[in-house]
Amino acid sequence: MAKRSVSILTRLLTNPSSPFTAPTRSITYMPRPGDGAPRTVTLIPGDGIGPLVTGAVEQVFEAMHAPVHFERYEVRGHMRKVPEEVMESVKRNKVCLKGGLATPVGGGVSSLNMQLRKELDIFASLVNCINVPGLVTRHENVDIVVIRENTEGEYAGLEHEVVPGVVESLKVITKYCSERIARYAFEHAYLNNRKKVTAVHKANIMKLADGLFLESCREVAKAYPGITYNEIIVDNCCMQLVAKPEQFDVMVTPNLYGNLIANTAAGIAGGTGVMPGGNVGAEHAIFEQGASAGNVGNDKIVEQKKANPMALLLSSAMMLKHLQFPTFADRLEIAVKQVIQEGKWRTKDLGGDCTTQEVVDAVIKALD
């Protein structure tokens, strides 16, 4: 452990040009007895590109000798329910890493991604959309955290056919859920030194539903006087996102708007292939690729093994921070960002032509 710290320090001192080797955190890592004890994490490879990218994470963790060991479970998107043993495992380990689970379009099976979130009461979905140095995008200065309510709202799945040809779908908003997502957002902003929280809504049309959401946000905002709070209507927000994304910092949204805003923000910052994200509940956390959890890629990418593992690697770095292994998280993030910045090993969505395995090898080499 001391030898690894020395090599990190050497690299910090000899690479002054790289903008992210100058850490902004000033915590000294004081190991305590038992800190390095390995933690168990449930791993769900998923469908499509899922096994590819989770395989990538496993390889990198092995190379890093991270104190994490995975319990792997096979879950397919077209199963009716998440198997019992998987739920047991997640409840026991409290942390899970998963690839995407394909949700069949149309009637029939309900989404397993949603089921997992509901059963474990994972109410907050977090996507950090940030310009990665070295990855040229049309928008600069993007650094947005989208915090989205995960359990209710439009995705409650409550629909019925009133008469043939007329379908009603219920959108439920409760004070309880709105309050806790608002509290989560402000607490996140507070602990991560963020200056502004923006609530995204459509309360001019859906007055009661989004009005309730807004009231909860306003109440919580009063408890955090150091953080600026403002509100924006969702259609204006979409336009501002593509016109001037630098005005947004932390955004808190209900379920549907959050899905679209997270995807738009991920798109302007480099694509869903590189944005980390996670789903957090009071007791459990599930880490998966940032914005499009249901996106399992198309068959061509699976065949050619050209899926982008960056998003899941960065999400697993978030997971390491969550598990209180900050050194490993930093090493992993620095390695991944270095690989992106060098630009030699990029998959197709970033403009290159590499396979997943090549990117993984590059990341492993960039670790010390």
238: contact with a second copy by CB under 8 A:
yes
User: Is 4 one of the binding residues for a second copy (CB under 8 A)?
Assistant: no
Smallest gap from Cβ 357 to a second copy, in A, equals 25
Separation between Cα atoms, residue 345 and residue 276, nearest integer Å: 19
Tell the smallest beta-carbon distance from residue 279 to a second copy (Å).
Answer: 15
Site string for a second copy, 116-155 (x = CB under 8 A): ----------------------xx--------------xx
Residues 172-211: x/- map of binding to a second copy (CB under 8 A)?
Answer: xxxxx-------------------------xxxxxxxx-x
Q: Which residues contact 116 (CB under 8 A, 6 or more apart)?
A: 82, 90, 122, 286
The answer to whether 159 contacts a second copy (rule: CB under 8 A) is yes
CB nearer a second copy, residue 256 or residue 367: 256
CB neighbours of residue 9 within 10 Å: 10
* Smallest distance from a second copy to CB 34, Å: 42
Verify binding: residue 267, a second copy, rule CB under 8 A: yes
Asked if residue 259 binds a second copy (CB under 8 A), the reply is yes
DSSP 27-81: ------TTTT--EEEEEE--STTHHHHHHHHHHHHHHHT-SEEEEE----TTSSS
Burial class for 3, CB neighbours closer than 10 Å (0-12, 13-18, 19+): exposed
161 binds a second copy (CB under 8 A): yes
For 82-115, b/e burial (b = at least 16 CB within 10 A) is: beeebbebbeebbbbbbbbbbbeeeeeeebbbbb
Q: How far is CA 250 from the centre of its chain?
A: 14
Q: In angstroms, how far is the first alpha carbon of the chain from the final one?
A: 12
Q: Which of 84, 168, 191, 193 binds a second copy (CB under 8 A)?
A: 168
Indicate the Cα dihedral angle 114, 120, 122, 123, nearest 10°: 90
Q: Is 212 a residue that touches a second copy (CB under 8 A)?
A: yes
Q: ∠151-228-176 over CA atoms, to 5°?
A: 25
Would you give the DSSP letter of residue 136?
Answer: -
Give the shortest CB-317-to-a second copy separation in angstroms: 22
Stretch that binds a second copy, among 14-22, 28-36, 221-229, 257-265 (CB under 8 A): 257-265
Residue with Cβ nearer a second copy (129 or 332)? 129
Residue 295 touches a second copy, criterion: CB under 8 A: yes
29 binds a second copy (CB under 8 A): no
Strand partners, 201: 233
Closest to 147 in 3D by CA, of 226, 75, 253: 253
Kindly state the smallest distance separating residue 11's Cβ from a second copy, in Å: 34
Say which residue the tokens 């996140």 belong to: 188
Asked if 291 is part of the footprint of a second copy (rule: CB under 8 A), the reply reads yes
* CB 168 to a second copy: min, Å: 5
Whose Cβ is closer to a second copy: residue 194's or residue 202's? 202
Contact with a second copy (CB under 8 A) among 31, 33, 107, 225: 107
Q: Return d(Cα 109, Cα 294) in angstroms, integer.
A: 14
The answer to the question of residue 262 lying near a second copy (CB under 8 A) is: yes
Show the 3-state SS of 237-277: HHHHHHHCHHHCCEEEECHHHHHHHHHHHHHHHCCCCCCEE
Residue number with CB closer to a second copy (10 or 204) = 204
Q: Under the rule (CB under 8 A), what is the footprint of a second copy? A: 103-108, 110-111, 114, 138-139, 154-155, 157, 159-161, 164-176, 202-209, 211-212, 214, 233-236, 238-243, 256-257, 259-264, 266-268, 271-272, 291-292, 294-295
